């Protein structure tokens, strides 16, 4: 027992000295062009706002973040650089091994954690499905039910009783129910009058939160050690991912049984459609569905939260949107909604000011 303790001490002592040196050294004070990890960690509770301010104060809209162990990062908001990376040279800048490793426990081989042919294949299939009229009608029905049977009645009751609601939480529940129905035809009932939290929803929230925390640690070695020892947050992540995968596997088996007796178009959800194409890899199917849930839950709720807050701060814009809404039918379909030019422009401006996905990480695959 004593030998084991001494061995652990000998391993941790050099690591502690490195951490102490990083956080106590004055050699890496922040300046307009270089930001050290100590500054990042100190502002972790409002990291997006802080980074945005630092980048915007740089003459080139680009900064270098110095991290321990030569893990330096370049962050940019320069439109020309962003265009170069995401459009003209997209294939040259993959997500990289660090991102894939950090996200793999939750997203596996889903579209948001792969590059190259796998990414192209999943994107092609997804784009095709979202362009079909049958899926569009299914989405309309799902959103219409969630909106008219749950969200609006809840907000109406709260207004009548002068009840204070956490709008961001309400909208996360709203989008979570929607995306679960669309992704694999399951209604978690997250947005109900009791505001209860089903096990699957709690597991998903915990998994996303812990995965994000991985990016804020001093070095990936720290969370990898915790994962190896199965302690702390990494233990909870393992439990949450197991719960998510168990639930997804049950839904997958249920959909397979249903498709033996009916068409995937009748089911409507994305999982049924992917199964009908002949995909037999259950792990890949679950990774794809989990990726869609992650994308649909947080991005849509964040966009709606900021949009409604901006309308509250700009009553003139709100009046114009209300006027446009009154000009369409009581039960508008997709084609009618997409012609709401003013509302569409307002949503785009809201997402420009407060992007639902404010960061996009890439690595350079080759030197030009």
At residue 206 the predicted structure's pLDDT band, cuts being 50, 70 and 90, is very high
Same fold, 20-88 and 124-353: no
Task: Name residue, tokens 């009916």.
Answer: 262
Spatial CB neighbours of 233, under 8 Å, sequence gap ≥ 6: 210, 213, 223, 226
Q: In terms of C-beta density within 10 A (0-12 exposed, 13-18 middle, 19 or more buried), how is residue 159 classed?
A: exposed
Per-residue pLDDT, 203? 92
What are the start-end ranges of the H helices in the chain?
Answer: 2-24, 37-42, 47-56, 79-83, 97-107, 116-130, 133-146, 152-160, 167-184, 199-214, 220-229, 232-259, 264-267, 270-276, 282-313, 315-326, 334-337, 341-353
Domain borders along the chain are 20-88, 124-353
Plot region of 34 (φ>0 → left; ψ -120 to 50 → alpha; else → beta)? beta
Higher pLDDT, 105 or 262: 105
The domain made up of 124-353 is a member of CATH 1.10.287.80: no
pLDDT at 281: 81
Structure tokens at 221: 């070695």
Is 3.40.1620 the CATH classification of the domain at 20-88?
yes
In this prediction the pTM is: 0.79
pLDDT greater at residue 183 or residue 210:
210
- What is the percent of the chain with per-residue pLDDT over 90, rounded to a whole number? 33
């Amino acid at each position: 027992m004593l030998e084991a303790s001494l061995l652990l001490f000998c391993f941790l002592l050099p690591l502690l000295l490195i951490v102490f040196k990083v956080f106590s050294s004055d050699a890496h004070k922040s300046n307009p062009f270089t930001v050290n990890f100590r500054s990042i960690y100190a502002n972790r509770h409002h990291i997006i706002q802080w980074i945005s301010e630092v980048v915007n104060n740089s003459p080139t809209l680009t900064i270098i973040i110095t991290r321990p162990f030569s893990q330096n990062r370049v962050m940019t908001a320069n439109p020309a650089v962003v265009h170069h990376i995401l459009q003209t040279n997209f294939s040259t800048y993959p997500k990289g091994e660090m991102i894939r490793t950090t996200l793999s426990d939750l997203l596996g081989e889903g579209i948001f954690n792969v590059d190259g042919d796998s990414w192209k294949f999943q994107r092609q299939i997804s784009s095709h499905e979202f362009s079909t009229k049958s899926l569009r009608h299914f989405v309309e029905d799902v959103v219409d039910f969630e909106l008219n049977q749950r969200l609006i009645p809840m907000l109406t009751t709260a207004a009548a009783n002068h009840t204070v609601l956490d709008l961001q939480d309400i909208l996360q529940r709203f989008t979570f129910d929607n995306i679960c129905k669309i992704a694999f035809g399951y209604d978690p009932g997250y947005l109900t009058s009791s505001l209860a939290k089903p096990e699957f929803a709690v597991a998903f929230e915990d998994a996303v939160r812990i995965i994000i925390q991985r990016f804020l640690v001093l070095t990936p070695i720290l969370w990898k050690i915790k994962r190896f020892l199965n302690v702390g947050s990494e233990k909870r992540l393992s439990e949450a991912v197991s719960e998510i995968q168990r639930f997804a596997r049950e839904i997958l088996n249920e959909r397979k049984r249903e498709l033996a007796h009916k068409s995937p178009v009748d089911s409507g959800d994305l999982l049924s459609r992917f199964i009908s194409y002949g995909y037999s890899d259950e792990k890949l199917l679950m990774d794809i569905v989990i990726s869609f849930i992650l994308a649909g839950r947080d991005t849509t709720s964040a966009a709606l939260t900021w949009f409604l807050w901006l309308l509250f701060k700009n009553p003139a814009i709100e009046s114009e949107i209300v006027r446009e809404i009154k000009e369409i039918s009581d039960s508008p379909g997709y084609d009618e909604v997409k012609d709401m030019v003013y509302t569409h422009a307002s949503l785009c401006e809201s997402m420009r000011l407060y992007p639902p996905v404010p960061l996009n990480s890439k690595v350079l695959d080759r030197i030009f």
